[in-house]
Amino acid sequence: MNVYDSVRMADVLAPHGFVSADGPVDADMVILNTCHIREKAAEKVYSEIGRLRLLKRDREAAGERMIIAVGGCVGQAEGAEIIARADCVDMVFGPQTYHRLPEMVTRIMRKAGTRIVDTEFPEEDKFDHLPEESAAQGTSAFLSIQEGCDKFCTFCVVPYTRGTEQSRPVAAITAEARSLTAAGSREITLLGQNVNAYHGEAPQGGEWGLGRLIRHLADTVPDLERIRYTTSHPRDMDDALIEAHGDVPQLMPFLHLPVQSGSDRILAAMNRQHTAADYMRIIDKLRSARPDIGLSSDFIVGFPDESNQDFADTLRLIREVSFAQAYSFKYSSRPGTPASGSEYQVEESIKDDRLATLQQLVHAQQVAFNHTKAGLTMPVLFERKGRRPGQVQGRSPYMQPVHAEAPERLIGTVATCRITDVLNNSLRAEIVTAETVSERADA
């Protein structure tokens, strides 16, 4: 989401003469787009500001200016505190106010010493004020369809930093998708903090859920070969969406569905509103609809009061599902969230041990999943040149990175490939059809 927001910030500033700089040294303005999800991410902001302060001083010594801005969720959460702690920061804004960037920049340019904090949740919709045209994002693009979250998991800052759930209208999403594919994108990842809670205004009135939206994009957006969506909540995995996995060919057979824990006691304390068995039922339904689907998840270890038994339940769930990949984190206490006040915080060394155990298991599953693809033929979307000359790099339907010796003209197209080798974190392939699937679709 932050990558997408950064692209949109550049879009909103482009008509005002700003172009992206290669790095901070020559920049007239530096925007840090920040993440508040865990303490480590939030801390990085201050060390980064420390580095920028020196660059700003050098530029000012040479008679030039450098505006330093902090955007994103740390800006949202710590607005005035950042201004007080870091005197080199000129402005702070949150994820819902970046459409006002030109106005903020103008005010700062006009009067030396002006400092701005804009972290109100605005009445107007940011998306109504962003340019329709967006800079090209390349073969694989992001598109935000939903923002915010009403779930209030007890560990999570998102409902406070991103605000309540909001879905964009189907027509606006379709228009943005068309402009992305016209600019060369072949894959679109639909984004939202709780993307499958999507309930946007339909073209003929009423509301559509995510399953219906995906069908509409698949049917009406030219040259859209692949659709993905992230991040989902198990509670919102409805039958229409699961069915779409079974019969929309453009919807890729890979799903990131965070479960966080396999212990019902911890799931309840996290306010996840489902049990481990509920999660398993969803996985079964998904696999019935699309037997080859690759699954990914997020896990938190060391949530307050997590016992050895709770952690063993998480490992059991992981064994039962068998994931294609997963992200795992040590619980990080976040200010203002209900769990942060718990007196039963888990010791850091226990969190470290659990994280290592969990990651070892998931890694073994990832390697095993990759090996199930050896020798198979599958479509690969090539996105860029590979690391070695003569190589191109892309992704399998299951999100695995794939390398092949092939001409550069295949970049931006889907080609049929045979997987020849399974490496640690990627697959090697040979091209089966020089004629690409994209070209055939046009014929």
Which residues here bind ligand SF4, judged by CB under 6 A?
149, 151-153, 156, 158-159, 193-194, 233
Q: Near ligand 5AD by CB under 6 A, which window of 140-148, 172-180, 330-338, 345-353? A: 330-338
Could you tell which of ligand SF4, ligand 5AD, none binds residue 314, using a CB distance below 5 to 8 A set by kind?
none
Could you tell which of ligand SF4, ligand 5AD, none binds residue 334, using a CB distance below 5 to 8 A set by kind?
ligand 5AD
Binding footprint of ligand 5AD, residue count (CB under 6 A):
12
Least separation in angstroms between CB 367 and ligand SF4: 28
- Give a three-class secondary structure readout of the chain: CHHHHHHHHHHHHHHHCCCCCCCCCCCCEEEEEECCCCHHHHHHHHHHHHHHHHHHHHHHHCCCCCEEEEEHHHHHHHHHHHHHHCCCCCEEECCCCHHHHHHHHHHHHHCCCCCEEECCCCCCCHHHHCCCCCCCCCCEEEEECEECCCCCCCCCCHHHHCCCCEECCHHHHHHHHHHHHHCCCCEEEEECCCHHHCCEECCCCCEECHHHHHHHHHHHCCCCCEEEEECCCHHHCCHHHHHHHHHCCCECCEEECCCECCCHHHHHHCCCCCCHHHHHHHHHHHHHHCCCCEEEEEEEECCCCCCHHHHHHHHHHHHHHCCCEEEEEECCCCCCCHHHHCCCCCCHHHHHHHHHHHHHHHHHHHHHHHHCCCCCEEEEEEEEECCCCCEEEEECCCCCEEEEECCHHHCCCEEEEEEEEECCCCEEEEECCCCCHHHHHHC
What residues between 34 and 73 interact with ligand 5AD by CB under 6 A?
37-38
Residue nearest to ligand 5AD (CB): 298
Distance CA 129, CA 147 (A): 16
Least separation in angstroms between CB 261 and ligand 5AD: 9
Of 185 and 260, CB closest to ligand 5AD: 260
What residues between 350 and 409 interact with ligand 5AD by CB under 6 A?
none
Least separation in angstroms between CB 19 and ligand 5AD: 32
What residues between 247 and 276 interact with ligand 5AD by CB under 6 A?
258, 260
Distance CA 228, CA 214 (A): 9
Give 284: exposed, middle or buried? Use CB within 10 Å, 0-12, 13-18, 19+: exposed
Could you tell which of ligand SF4, ligand 5AD, none binds residue 233, using a CB distance below 5 to 8 A set by kind?
ligand SF4
Q: Is 125 one of the binding residues for ligand 5AD (CB under 6 A)? A: no
Could you tell which of ligand 5AD, ligand SF4, none binds residue 46, using a CB distance below 5 to 8 A set by kind?
none
Cβ neighbours of 349 (radius 10 Å): 9
Could you tell which of ligand 5AD, ligand SF4, none binds residue 37, using a CB distance below 5 to 8 A set by kind?
ligand 5AD
Of 255 and 410, CB closest to ligand SF4: 255
Of 144 and 436, CB closest to ligand 5AD: 144
Could you tell which of ligand SF4, ligand 5AD, none binds residue 198, using a CB distance below 5 to 8 A set by kind?
none
Q: Near ligand 5AD by CB under 6 A, which window of 131-139, 170-178, 209-217, 327-335? A: 327-335
Q: Which of 3, 80, 60, 82 is nearest to 35 (CA)?
A: 3
Least separation in angstroms between CB 156 and ligand 5AD: 4
Q: Is 154 one of the binding residues for ligand 5AD (CB under 6 A)? A: no
Strands 166-167 and 427-431: unpaired
Q: Tell which one of 130, 156, 180, 195 touches ligand 5AD (CB under 6 A).
A: 156
Q: Tell which one of 126, 162, 334, 403 touches ligand 5AD (CB under 6 A).
A: 334
Least separation in angstroms between CB 328 and ligand 5AD: 8
What residues between 284 and 303 interact with ligand 5AD by CB under 6 A?
298, 300
Q: Is 161 one of the binding residues for ligand 5AD (CB under 6 A)? A: no
Strands 29-34 and 67-71: parallel
Q: Which of 101, 36, 39 is nearest to 67 (CA)?
A: 101
Could you tell which of ligand SF4, ligand 5AD, none binds residue 300, using a CB distance below 5 to 8 A set by kind?
ligand 5AD
- Give the tokens for residue 47: 């060390």
Least separation in angstroms between CB 375 and ligand 5AD: 34
Least separation in angstroms between CB 153 and ligand SF4: 3
Q: Near ligand 5AD by CB under 6 A, which window of 8-16, 115-123, 325-333, 381-389? A: 325-333
Residues making contact with ligand 5AD (CB under 6 A) = 37-38, 155-156, 258, 260, 298, 300, 329, 331-332, 334
